[in-house]
Amino acid sequence: MDFKKIRSDFPIFSKIEQMGRKFVYLDSAATTHKPQQVVDSIVDFYTLHNANVHRGLYDSGEHATALYEGAREKVAKFINAKASSEIIFTSGTTESINFVAQTWAVNNLKSGDEILLTQAEHHANLLPWQRVAKQTGAVLKFIPIFCHPELDSGSIQINAPEHLVTPRTKLVAVTYISNVLGDIWNQGQLENLIKNAKAQGAKILIDAAQAVAHRKVDVQALDVDFIAFSGHKMFAPTGIGVLYIKSDLHDQVEPYKLGGGMVHSVSFESASWAKSPHKFEAGTPAIAQAIGLGVAVDYISQNLNFDQIAEHEVFLYKKLLSELVKIKKIRIAGNISEAEPHGSMVCFTVDGVHAHDIAGYLGGKGISVRAGHHCAQPLVKLLGFESLVRVSFGVYNTEQDVDTFVTELTEALKFFGAL
């Protein structure tokens, strides 16, 4: 993989540099940039093919439908789904999880049933289940995240999560990669948990938002029932996301929205649904964005290799970490003691300086990092932080990005009197 060539596929870097501004983007966990191919696909759709899907019996209508359904097939292949009818287009991870909560979960859970989450969930995989618990009387249980007490820079660990699975566990809804801690699962741990939960008859939902641009997601190998992710975190446009629903469950899951395009037949009094995926996609979908997602999948398949992405990110991660640990008052959240870390992000704070001040200072120097609670307030509090600076990598980041970040971070800390 030629990382220099890959970076040049993302026009935003050269455009901003041409305008004479520095641009070090270290916030890919929030959203990734888009390669030229994806940008072009949006322009092409609106200039050449614009039409609604599944309706018009004219050339552009047929063509738009073929492109839209083609994108679904690409996504199905990308996550190794058995059939493209298992791919439901949504607006993103948040809608995908709310979808499962308000359709399958509220209709299939009852008082005393258990939903098993981790303490590291993004609010998008926590609040929908809090609502389901209120609606059904189900109980939320949490797989604890432990910090190694002997290491002051909090190494993270999950112990034997399968022990929390009981005959009452009806759903395990957990993150694949945390948006604060990065990798939280040890080798084989998530797979074991899934196996144990399935043996008790539980359904499995994986929040793969932070995983899709960094590792191969294989729904059959993982043996999951639902997977949720967003296009914009994997080089595709905003406004498009995916909910994978395993075929066996299509009859058990009610439609999330009702309206055009999702019916078999309708009378004044009642209606019957079309088959999946149309049953689950009422109304005009985000057509251009779905096509853009298909092109992003093509981009990944044709240009990227997940093993090499991981290697590249771990290289950047280790380089960054080796510099960060030299800072006296720093506290790092995450798996920093692991021999082979998964390196897509690092969260930290420096005593005496608010994370927003660090991020604000760096922003003025052309460096984009995120600061705050990262939509994981309970986790950030649990780890003993109020606010964290997050540096997260994408495939286009370079060693130079890390060097610039470290130099300017040092300047920021001097400025705020912490060095």
Partner 1 sequence: MSSKNYQEELFEHFKYPCNKKSIENPDFRAGQDNPSCGDKVAIEGKISDNKIVEVGFSGSGCVISQAATSMLTEYCKGKTVDEVLALTKDDILNLVKIELGPNRLKCALLCLQVLQEALLTFKSAKK
Q: Which is nearer to partner 1, 102 or 387 (CB)?
A: 387
Q: Which is nearer to partner 1, 337 or 387 (CB)?
A: 387
* 157 contributes a contact to partner 1 by CB under 8 A: no
Residue 414 near residue 365, CB atoms below 8 Å: no
Of 364, 384, 399, 407, the one binding partner 1 by CB under 8 A: 364
* Smallest distance, partner 1 to C-beta of residue 11, A: 24
Strands 114-118 and 169-175: parallel
CA-to-CA dists, residue 162 to 171, 187, 220, angstroms: 13, 14, 20
Q: What binding mask, one character per residue, do residues 343-362 give for partner 1 by CB under 8 A, x or -?
A: -----------xxxx--xx-
Positive or negative, the CA dihedral 377, 381, 387, 391 is negative
Q: Which is nearer to partner 1, 259 or 363 (CB)?
A: 363
* 377 contributes a contact to partner 1 by CB under 8 A: yes
* Smallest distance, partner 1 to C-beta of residue 371, A: 8
- Point out which span in 77-85, 262-270, 333-341, 366-374 binds partner 1 (CB under 8 A): 366-374
Q: Which residues contact 238 (CB under 8 A, 6 or more apart)?
A: 31, 92, 231, 232, 289
Residue 147 near residue 380, CB atoms below 8 Å: no
Question: Is-cis flag, bond preceding 277, omega within 30?
Answer: yes
Could you please report the per-residue DSSP string of 97-162?
HHHHIIIIIHHH--TT-EEEEETT--GGGTHHHHHHHHHH--EEEEEPPEE-TT-TT--EE---GG
* Helix H or strand E segment including 190: helix 189-199
Residue 121 near residue 207, CB atoms below 8 Å: yes
Residue 265 near residue 46, CB atoms below 8 Å: no
Measured between alpha carbons, how far apart are the two ends of the chain, in Å? 39
* Helix H or strand E segment including 306: helix 306-324
| Polymer length of the chain | 419
Q: Which is nearer to partner 1, 116 or 380 (CB)?
A: 380
Q: Which amino acid is at 264?
A: H
* Smallest distance, partner 1 to C-beta of residue 179, A: 15
Q: Which is nearer to partner 1, 144 or 363 (CB)?
A: 363
* 63 contributes a contact to partner 1 by CB under 8 A: no
What backbone torsions phi and psi does residue 271 show, to the nearest 5 degrees? -150, 155
Q: How far is CA 323 from the centre of its chain?
A: 27
* 373 contributes a contact to partner 1 by CB under 8 A: yes
* 141 contributes a contact to partner 1 by CB under 8 A: no
What backbone torsions phi and psi does residue 118 show, to the nearest 5 degrees? -100, 170
* Smallest distance, partner 1 to C-beta of residue 137, A: 28
CA angle, 242 then 248 then 253, to 5°: 60
Of 371, 379, 383, 389, the one binding partner 1 by CB under 8 A: 371
CA angle, 393 then 8 then 242, to 5°: 55
* Smallest distance, partner 1 to C-beta of residue 19, A: 17
* Smallest distance, partner 1 to C-beta of residue 386, A: 4
Copy the structure tokens of residue 23.
């641009």
* 363 contributes a contact to partner 1 by CB under 8 A: yes
* 416 contributes a contact to partner 1 by CB under 8 A: yes
Q: Catalytic residue at 347?
A: no
Of 387, 398, 410, 418, the one binding partner 1 by CB under 8 A: 387
Of 283, 386, 399, 407, the one binding partner 1 by CB under 8 A: 386
Q: What binding mask, one character per residue, do residues 305-344 give for partner 1 by CB under 8 A, x or -?
A: ----------------------------------------
* 365 contributes a contact to partner 1 by CB under 8 A: yes
Count of chain residues binding partner 1 (CB under 8 A): 19
CA-to-CA dists, residue 205 to 115, 129, 188, 215, angstroms: 10, 12, 17, 17
* Smallest distance, partner 1 to C-beta of residue 373, A: 7
* Smallest distance, partner 1 to C-beta of residue 417, A: 8
Of 11, 61, 261, 372, the one binding partner 1 by CB under 8 A: 372
Q: How many helices (H) and strands (E) does the chain have?
A: 14, 17
Q: Which residues contact 260 (CB under 8 A, 6 or more apart)?
A: 282, 283, 284
* 123 contributes a contact to partner 1 by CB under 8 A: no
- Point out which span in 23-31, 152-160, 189-197, 408-416 binds partner 1 (CB under 8 A): 408-416
Of the candidates 42, 330, 375, 419, the residue annotated as catalytic is 375
Q: Which is nearer to partner 1, 295 or 371 (CB)?
A: 371
Give the footprint of partner 1 on this chain (CB under 8 A): 354-357, 360-361, 363-365, 371-373, 377, 386-387, 411, 415-417
Q: Give catalytic residues, as residue numbers.
A: 375
